Structure 1
Amino acid sequence: MIDPADLDHCREAIREGSYSFHAASKLLPERVRDPALALYAFCRLADDEVDFGVHKPAAVLDLRDRLDLAYAGTPRNAPADRAFAAIIEEFDMPRALPEALLEGLAWDGIERRYATLSDLRSYSARVASAVGAMMCVLMRVRDEHALARACDLGVAMQLTNIARDVGEDARARRLYLPTDWLKDAGMDEEQFFDDPRPTPEVRRMVKRLLAEANRLYMRSEPGVGRLPLTSRPGIFAARHCYDAIGRKLARRGYDSVSQRVCTTGRHKLGLLGLSLVRAAWVSITPESAVIYAKPLPEVAFLVDAAAHPDARQPVRGEQVLNVFRQLEARDRAEQMGSPIQATA
C-alpha cells in the first residue's frame, strides 16, 4: 500500500503539473485514483526533468537508475519513487510498460526527430500509451481489446499535446512535427527554430496531427465500455479534456505558434459533466465492433506486455541499450563542454 504521506506529495505534484489529469482523476474511484495519482506523479516528474532540466541526458540516466531501484524493491528515498515501488508490488506492473516510457524519454534526451507520422506514433506509444496501459493495469484490466483502445487514446492525447506545443517547442529548438512534412512544405528546420511563424504550411501540419488524433479518439471510445463501471467517467473525462484542446486550436485556425491554447476551469467542469453522461450511455448501448480493431503496429508490444504479464520479456532490449549508450556519450560531452548535434 502507498504511504499516505507519499500519496499526498504525489497529489500535490499532479495538482500543480497536470491540470487536465487532476481534473479527470476526480471522477475515478478512490481505489484507482490513488495509485493513478502516484503513477502520474512518477511519470510526470520524470518527464519534466527531461523537458525542463539543464542536462537532459543526465536526467534520463538518473531515471533509469530510479526505475532499476524501484523494481529491485529498494526505491530511492523520495515520495514518488516509494509510491511507484508500492504500485509495482501491489499490481504486478509489467516492467515492459515503464521501460517503454523510459525509452521515449531517452529519445527526448538524445533530441531524436521523427521522419514520418508512424515514427511519431512510435514516440507517442512510449510516452503516452505506455501510461494508458499502466492505467488499465491499475484497474485490473488485462483484456487485450481494452488495452489496444487505451493505447489509441494515449497516442491521440500525445498528438494533441504536440499540436498544441508547436510554437513552444520550436522556441526551445525542439521538433516533433514529422520532418518529411517539413521537407514536403519546403521548410528548413533551423530556420523554423530561428523564426517560428504560424504560416499556412505549419497550420496544415497542426491540422493533420489533430485529424489523426480525432481518428484515434473515436477508435478509443469502445474500450471504455470494457473498463470497470466506476472508472469510465474518469477516462471519458481525460479523453474530453485533451480533445477540447484540439477543438479550441481548430477554432483558432490551427495556430499553435503565436499562442498556447488551454481550457478554462469552467470548461473542464462542463466536460466532467459530459463524461458522467457518456459513461452512463456507454453502459446501456451495444458494444461497437471497433473494439476488435487490431492494435496500431506501434503499440502492439505494449498490449502484449500488459495482457500477458507472466511472459518472459527482456529488461532492456538492444535498441534501448543503444539509446542509453548515446545518452551516456552525450552526458560525457556535456560535462566536457563539447558541442552536441541533434539525433535524427
Structure 2
Amino acid sequence: MIDPDDLAYCRDAIRTGSYSFHAASRLLPARVRDPALALYAFCRLADDAVDEGDHKARAVLTLRDRLKLAYAGCPRNTPTDRAFAAIVEEFEMPRALPEALLEGLAWDARGDRYATLSEVTSYSARVASAVGAMMCVLMRVRDRDALARACDLGVAMQLTNIARDVGEDARAGRLYLPMDWFAEAGVDPDAFLRDPLPTDPVRRMVARLLAEARRLYLRAESGIAALPVDARTGIWAARLIYAAIGREIRRNGHDSVSMRARTGSLQKIALMGEAVVLSATTSMMPRHAVLHAPPLPETAYLVDAAARTGPAPQRTVELLDLMADLARRDRAGRGRIGA
C-alpha cells in the first residue's frame, strides 16, 4: 500500500518529531502502525509548517492544495504526500477528517483566541480528535461509540498539550487558555503575553484544564475495549503516556510557564508495560456503560463523518470562507513585503 522508502521517511520524521507517539506506535500491529506513522507524519509536518513558519496563512493554503491533490489521486511528489494518498485510497478516508485538521491549523494561522472552554474544545477537536477519528478508520473501526471515545481521547491529549505549553506558547505570542478564565481570574491576557509568569491564578487555570483532560481520559478508556484486540495495547500506551505529562505538570505545582513537563524514556517503557497489562484486563472486563455516552457536541460532526452517517455541508461552507479569509491575508502580507 505505502512505498517502503516513503514509509521509512515517515517513520524517521516521527521518531525525531514526536517521541510520545513513536513510543506508543511500537505496540500497534504492523497493519495499523505503518499507515498510522504515515498519517501522523503528514499531520505533524503540516502542523510544524504552520506553527514554526514565517508565512502561516500560506502554509495552510498549501496544505489545502496538498489535500486536494491527494484526494484526486495525484499527490505532490514527496514521501509524506504519496503515503497519505495511499492511505486515502486504501481506507476510503472521509475527506471531512483531514479538512477538520486543516480548519484547526487555519485558526492557528489567524492567531485565534478562544472565549470559552467549549471553543478550546472545538479547536482541540480539529487538531487532535480528527486524527483520533482517522486512526479509527485505519483500524477499520466505524462504530459511533468507539469513534466518540476516540474523539474524547484526542481532546484530552490536546488539552494536556495546551496545559504543558502555556509558557512556550505565550513567549510565541499565542494563548489557548479560555479568555473567560482570564477574566474570572482578574488576569489581563495581553499583560500575561508581555510578561508570562507562573502566578497563582495562571497555575489554577492550568490545573482546571488538566482536570477537564482527566475527565475525558476516563471517558475515553471505555472505547479502547471497542477497538481490535491487537490494537488496544498501543492506544492504552498513548493514553497513559500523554496523561503522564499531566501528572508531571501537577508535580511541578502546575507551573508550565517557567518549566516544561517531560516524560523520560524509562518512564515511557514502564507505561508501555502498564499498557500491556491494562489491555489484557480490558479484554476480560464487560464493557462500561459510558462507552455509549453521546459524543461531545464539539466532536459530533467528526463522529458522523467517520461513521459515514452523512456529510456536514455547513462545515464545507465555513471552511471555504475560512480559506478565502486566509488567502486575503496572504495577499495583503505579500503586498506589505513588496511595498
TM-score (norm 1): 0.96
Q: Is the 8 A contact 1:32 1:139 kept in 2?
A: yes
Distance 2:120 2:166 in 1: 14
Distance 1:229 1:20 in 2: 21
Amino acid at match of 2:261: V
Distance 1:69 1:315 in 2: 23
Distance 1:126 1:300 in 2: 11
Amino acid at match of 1:92: E
CA positional deviation for 1:243: 0.2
Tell me which residue corresponds to 1:323: 322
CA positional deviation for 1:336: 2.3
Tell me which residue corresponds to 1:117: 117
Query: What is the DSSP-based 3-state SS (H/G/I as helix, E as strand, rest coil) of the residue aligned with 1:238?
Result: helix
Q: Is the 8 A contact 1:99 1:316 kept in 2?
A: no
CA positional deviation for 1:312: 4.6
Tell me which residue corresponds to 2:174: 174
Amino acid at match of 1:325: A
Tell me which residue corresponds to 1:91: 91
Which structure is higher in helix share?
A: 2
Amino acid at match of 1:317: T
Alignment of 1:210-289 (within 5 A): 210-289=210-289
1:65 aligns with 2:65: yes
- Structure 1 pair 216–118 and aligned structure 2 pair: CA distance change class (3 A): same
- 1:100-137 deviation per Cα after TM superposition (whole angstroms, max 9, x unaligned): 01110111111111000000000000000000000000
- Structure 1 pair 106–27 and aligned structure 2 pair: CA distance change class (3 A): same
Query: What is the DSSP-based 3-state SS (H/G/I as helix, E as strand, rest coil) of the residue aligned with 1:283?
Result: helix
Q: Is the 8 A contact 1:95 1:315 kept in 2?
A: no
- 1:14-59 deviation per Cα after TM superposition (whole angstroms, max 9, x unaligned): 0010000000000000000000000000000000001001110010
Query: What is the DSSP-based 3-state SS (H/G/I as helix, E as strand, rest coil) of the residue aligned with 2:257?
Result: coil
Amino acid at match of 2:108: D
Distance 2:243 2:315 in 1: 33
- 1:135-166 deviation per Cα after TM superposition (whole angstroms, max 9, x unaligned): 00000000000000000000000000000000
Task: Identify the range of structure 1 (311-320 vs 277-286) with the bigger mean alpha-carbon deviation.
Answer: 311-320
Tell me which residue corresponds to 1:26: 26
Distance 1:167 1:46 in 2: 23
Calculate the aligned-residue CA RMSD, in Å.
1.1
Amino acid at match of 2:334: Q
Q: Is the 8 A contact 1:73 1:85 kept in 2?
A: yes
Distance 2:213 2:334 in 1: 39
Alignment of 1:152-231 (within 5 A): 152-231=152-231
- 1:182-203 deviation per Cα after TM superposition (whole angstroms, max 9, x unaligned): 1122222221111000000000
CA positional deviation for 1:333: 2.2
Distance 1:43 1:124 in 2: 14
Query: What is the DSSP-based 3-state SS (H/G/I as helix, E as strand, rest coil) of the residue aligned with 2:284?
Result: coil
Distance 1:118 1:326 in 2: 23
Tell me which residue corresponds to 2:296: 296
Query: What is the DSSP-based 3-state SS (H/G/I as helix, E as strand, rest coil) of the residue aligned with 1:317?
Result: helix
CA positional deviation for 1:294: 0.6
Q: Is the 8 A contact 2:305 2:311 kept in 1?
A: no
Distance 1:293 1:119 in 2: 21
- 1:46-100 deviation per Cα after TM superposition (whole angstroms, max 9, x unaligned): 0000100111001000000000000000000000000000000000000010010
Distance 1:116 1:253 in 2: 24
- Structure 1 pair 10–234 and aligned structure 2 pair: CA distance change class (3 A): same
Amino acid at match of 1:119: E
CA positional deviation for 1:171: 0.2
Distance 2:198 2:23 in 1: 30
Tell me which residue corresponds to 1:332: 331
Structure 1 runs of 4+ off > 6 angstroms? none
1:78 aligns with 2:66: no
Q: Is the 8 A contact 2:225 2:283 kept in 1?
A: yes
Distance 1:5 1:24 in 2: 22
- Structure 1 pair 140–238 and aligned structure 2 pair: CA distance change class (3 A): same
Gaps of 5+ in 2: none
Tell me which residue corresponds to 2:140: 140
Amino acid at match of 1:326: D
- 1:199-237 deviation per Cα after TM superposition (whole angstroms, max 9, x unaligned): 000000000100000000000001000100000000000
- 1:259-294 deviation per Cα after TM superposition (whole angstroms, max 9, x unaligned): 011100000000000000000000001110000101
Amino acid at match of 2:235: I
Distance 1:171 1:88 in 2: 37
TM-score (norm 2): 0.98
CA positional deviation for 1:313: 5.0
CA positional deviation for 1:330: 1.5
